[in-house]
Amino acid sequence: MIDSHVHLNREEFRGETADVMARARQAGVHGFLNVGYDLPSSRESLALAAAHPAIRATVGVHPHDAETIADATGQITSAGHEILAELTDLAARPEVVAIGEIGLDFFRDLSPRPAQYAAFTAQIKLADQVGLPVVLHVRDAWAEALAHLDEVGLPAKRGVLHAFSGDEAAVAWARERGFLLGIGGPVTYKKSRLPELVALAGVEQILLETDAPWLPPVPHRGQRNESAYLAHTLDKVASVLELAPAEVARRTTASFVRLFGALADPADRETTTAPPER
Ligand SMILES: [Zn+2]
């Protein structure tokens, strides 16, 4: 299976990438989509993907960092134009398979909302221009973000709603428009509504992700998350869907490959390999 959203470039993993990847492989994770969230992490993402055939990269600027692209009135700044130009260059590299993570975050509001909208709009258009799908980050802004996508125009290659935390209406929106839902550690949390939403969506509409080093699944809450722990999310999703874990691993991997393309590492094509017993 593939960890469809991870940040191996983070300092939490410094010097440990090889060990983290080895533990992941033992847990049945053979591929990684390393997601950028600002310009430096986008460059690091590409460097990781260039060094490891099992890793693919995304490049983009997170809503938290939208102010590096646009000002508080929603005007793209000259520094922002430079960042967008470099993202466009990076996106031309074959290791880069999506634009992200981009979106709206009204939970933390770390950048002014007009700046978030402007950065989001510019990067939706960038995705279409370079012919790539998007990895979306949305928090406490589901209605606004989905309406904005409809208004700006959906990227032709669609994408994934990472760390999905929307409601039934968001599941329906995604189904009607061909977007996938990224499901991670929170599906294992006691009070989460995600199990019923995963059941509503069905296996064909989801991708598995860790968002490591963040959002660890039970029983690793409070620890640094890593890709090996995706096995716990897989087990939970499989039990919700009443499918065998190996079946969920196979079908979500197939969905990943349809959206983002195959990984370069031949070992990662063992998509039918059952995860080991745990
Ligand atoms: Zn992330």
Q: What is the pLDDT of residues 94-128, one digit of tens each?
A: 999 999 999 999 999 999 999 999 999 999 999 99
pLDDT band at 263 (very low <50, low <70, confident <90, very high): confident
Q: Which of 11-25, 151-165, 198-212, 261-275 has the lowest mean pLDDT?
A: 261-275
Within-domain flag for 276: no
Residue 205 sits in a domain of what CATH number?
A: 3.20.20.140
pLDDT band at 268 (very low <50, low <70, confident <90, very high): very low
- What's the CA-to-centroid distance between 188 and ligand 1, angstroms? 18
Are the C-beta atoms of 228 and 26 separated by less than 8 Å? yes
- What's the CA-to-centroid distance between 184 and ligand 1, angstroms? 11
Query: How large is the angle between the packed helices 168-177 and 142-152, nearest 10 degrees?
Result: 20
Residue 188 has what pLDDT? 98
Within-domain flag for 76: yes
For residue 274, pLDDT over 80 is answered with: no
Within-domain flag for 268: no
Helix/strand/coil for 53: coil
- What's the CA-to-centroid distance between 254 and ligand 1, angstroms? 21
Within-domain flag for 43: yes
Q: Which domain holds residue 232?
A: 2-263
- What's the CA-to-centroid distance between 211 and ligand 1, angstroms? 5
- What's the CA-to-centroid distance between 224 and ligand 1, angstroms? 14
For residue 253, pLDDT over 80 is answered with: yes
Q: How much of the chain exceeds pLDDT 70, in percent?
A: 95
pLDDT band at 143 (very low <50, low <70, confident <90, very high): very high
- What's the CA-to-centroid distance between 5 and ligand 1, angstroms? 6
- What's the CA-to-centroid distance between 35 and ligand 1, angstroms? 6
- What's the CA-to-centroid distance between 213 and ligand 1, angstroms? 9
Within-domain flag for 180: yes
For residue 273, pLDDT over 80 is answered with: no
Are the C-beta atoms of 3 and 27 separated by less than 8 Å? no
Token pair of 271 as six digits: 């998509």
Cα–Cα distance measured from residue 249 to residue 128, given in angstroms and rounded to the nearest whole number: 29
- What's the CA-to-centroid distance between 162 and ligand 1, angstroms? 8
- What's the CA-to-centroid distance between 207 and ligand 1, angstroms? 14
Token pair 């709009």 is at which residue?
Answer: 121
Overall domain count for the chain: 1
Residue 265 has what pLDDT? 62
- What's the CA-to-centroid distance between 244 and ligand 1, angstroms? 27
Instruction: Show the DSSP H helices in the chain as ranges.
Output: 17-26, 39-51, 78-91, 113-130, 142-152, 168-177, 194-201, 230-241, 245-260
Residue 267 has what pLDDT? 53
Within-domain flag for 278: no
Within-domain flag for 274: no
- What's the CA-to-centroid distance between 275 and ligand 1, angstroms? 24
Within-domain flag for 277: no
